[in-house]
Amino acid sequence: MTVANTTRSVIVTRPLAQGTAFAERVVAAGRKAVVFPLLEIHPLVDDSALRDVIARLGQYALVAFVSPNAIDAVLTGIESWPKAVPIAIMGEGSRAALVQHGIDDSNTKIISPRNTERTDSETLLDALDLAALQGRKVLIVRGETGRELLADRLTVAGCQVEQIAAYRRVAPVLTPDKREILQALLDGEHDWIITSSEGLRVLTDMVAQLHEPAYVVKMQQQRIIAPHARIAETARNSGFTNVDQTGSGDERLLAALQFTHERNTSNS
């Protein structure tokens, strides 16, 4: 795969399946897109515990999904969601994933952060009725690794918290082909869609593996577009100098890309 250095492209860094779908929307909006996943999503080696939890979803007072991947891993394994069980999600990506499985506000209570500018564990906790959940079972569906803040705060609030892994996140290996693509991208100026702090750390690790200080500087000068404040903060703390925060949801990401395209066109 060859990437033209003179063409400003949108670099979509989501896992392959989600990244490809978003890239199609980018192209439909008139921009060029390159899918360069910074994380790979793999099934669990042993999913027996997950299947056991899926069989008793109706026992929980609340099920919190930390990502669209968590939603897909659970909902593809059931015929229908127990409608009496509310769902908690972080952002608009998870809401869209629920819709793909036939779940929305018309048939299930869905709780999400009120502040779309910062959708994370802290803002989700602010939206929950912790007093009503005290002494009741709460399930958190996540990857094999992740932040513990949500589980810790719910436990302190008196909830009976159970966490279950639904998938594995794995950093891609920087193969010779990927190394060549990454170098070509860094030799140009592009808009990078970064939708997780973990993915951003993988990117900086990949650039470090190039063993060329000039590429570190070039990476820090790329435009980073992040939907969440935490990701934007991580980028700035890592030395990135051109960071935009859009708020949660693909529509806001696409609007930011369109703004950049129109601005660059008018300045050319």
179: pLDDT strictly greater than 60? yes
Decide if 61 is inside a domain: yes
Do 24 and 137 have their domain in common?
no
Q: Which domain holds residue 261?
A: 10-39+172-267
* Domain edge (last residue) among 120, 136, 169: 169
* Tokens 């709460």 found at: 138
83: pLDDT strictly greater than 50? yes
- pLDDT at position 258: 80
Do 114 and 145 have their domain in common?
yes
pLDDT digits (tens, 9 = 90+) for 105-130: 999 999 998 876 666 788 889 999 99
What is the token pair recorded at 191?
């808009």
CATH code of the domain in which 211 resides = 3.40.50.10090
- pLDDT at position 5: 47
Decide if 200 is inside a domain: yes
Decide if 206 is inside a domain: yes
The number of beta carbons lying within 10 Å of the beta carbon of residue 7 is 11
Do 57 and 159 have their domain in common?
yes
Task: Please give the DSSP secondary-structure letter assigned to residue 6.
Answer: T
* C-alpha count within 13 angstroms, C-beta hemisphere, residue 78: 21
pLDDT digits (tens, 9 = 90+) for 137-166: 999 999 987 668 899 999 999 999 999 999
CA proximity to 17, closest of 67, 66, 79: 67
pLDDT digits (tens, 9 = 90+) for 213-263: 999 999 999 999 998 888 999 999 999 999 999 987 888 899 999 866 555
- pLDDT at position 132: 95
pLDDT digits (tens, 9 = 90+) for 32-67: 999 999 999 999 999 999 999 999 999 999 999 999
CA distances from 129 to 52, 61, 126 (A): 27, 11, 8
4: pLDDT strictly greater than 60? no
Rounded Cα distance between 107 and 259, Å, is 36
